[in-house]
Structure 1
C-alpha cells in the first residue's frame, strides 16, 4: 500500500476556540476531495479536539498546542489529532455503558461507532489519536 497523501496540517492553541478553527480548516481541505463522509469527519474531529483541549497536558498549559493532520488515500480519509498527552496517565478509552442517549462521555464512543478504524499511540512529544473514514 502506498503512503497516505497529506492534504494538510495545522498547529493550533489548545483552547476551546481551536474547535471551530479546526473544523473550518478541515472542511476547507475536504472540499477538494468530495469525501462522502465529510460531516462525520467534522463531528469526529470536533470530539477529538475537544478531548485534547479538556484532557491533555496541552490543554492544561497556557501555551499548549495541538496539531491536526489530514491525509487521504484510495478513498480513505485519515485524521490525526496530536497533543502533549497526559502526565497523569489518562488514556483515551471509550466509556463503558455509553449509548446514543447518554448525556455525556460519547466522544470516543462516536469515534468508535462512526469511523472505519481508530486508535491512539504515544510519541516522544505526547500522543496521537486518529481515525479513518472509508469512502466506500
Structure 2
C-alpha cells in the first residue's frame, strides 16, 4: 500500500484572518507540484478553514488553533483541516436544502460537488475534515 507524500503543514490561529494566510501557504505548495486543480483546491481549502473557524471550539476560544495539511499522491491532492471539534455536538454536514445562489451555507455542498471524496473523523486531539481532488 502506498502512502501520501506530505507537501506541507501549517498551524494557524482559528481566526477569519487566517483564511487568506492558509490560501497563500497552500498556493505556494501547489505551485511547486503544478496540480491541475489548484484553483478548486484553494476554493475547497477556503471553505474548510472558514467552517473550522466559524463552527469549531477552536474558533470559539481566543487562543484556538487550526492545522492545515496538504498531501499528494499519484495525481490526487489530499487536504486536511484539523481543529478542536465541537463540544456543542455540531458535526460537519451538507445543508439539505442548499441554494447554490445563496451567500452562505454552501461550504460543504461545494466540497461535496467539487471533490472526488470528502469526510471527517474525530481524533483524541479534535476533528479532521478532509477532501481529495483528483487531477482532471
Please say whether Structure 1 and Structure 2 have the same fold, judged by a TM-score greater than 0.5.
Answer: yes
Confirm or deny that 1:94 pairs with 2:94: yes
* Cα separation, 1, equivalents of 2:77 and 2:29: 11
Question: Aligned-pair distance for 1:67?
Answer: 0.1
Question: Aligned-pair distance for 1:99?
Answer: 3.2
Question: Aligned-pair distance for 1:124?
Answer: 0.4
| Secondary structure of the corresponding residue to residue 32 of structure 1 | helix
Q: Which runs of 4+ in 1 moved over 3 A?
A: none
Q: For residue 13 of structure 1, what is the aligned residue in structure 2? A: 13
Question: Aligned-pair distance for 1:81?
Answer: 0.1
Deviations 1:32-53 (A, max 9, x none): 1111110000000000100010
Deviations 1:7-57 (A, max 9, x none): 000000000110000000000000011111100000000001000100000
* Cα separation, 2, equivalents of 1:89 and 1:67: 21
> What pairs up with 1:22-101 in 2 under 5 angstroms?
22-101=22-101
* Cα separation, 1, equivalents of 2:45 and 2:103: 19
Could you state the TM-score of these two structures normalised by the residue count of structure 1? 0.98
* Cα separation, 2, equivalents of 1:104 and 1:45: 16
* Cα separation, 2, equivalents of 1:57 and 1:23: 22
Question: Aligned-pair distance for 1:100?
Answer: 1.8
| Secondary structure of the corresponding residue to residue 33 of structure 2 | coil
**What root-mean-square deviation, in Å, do the aligned CA atoms of Structure 1 and Structure 2 show?**
0.7
Could you state the TM-score of these two structures normalised by the residue count of structure 2? 0.98
* Cα separation, 1, equivalents of 2:36 and 2:62: 37
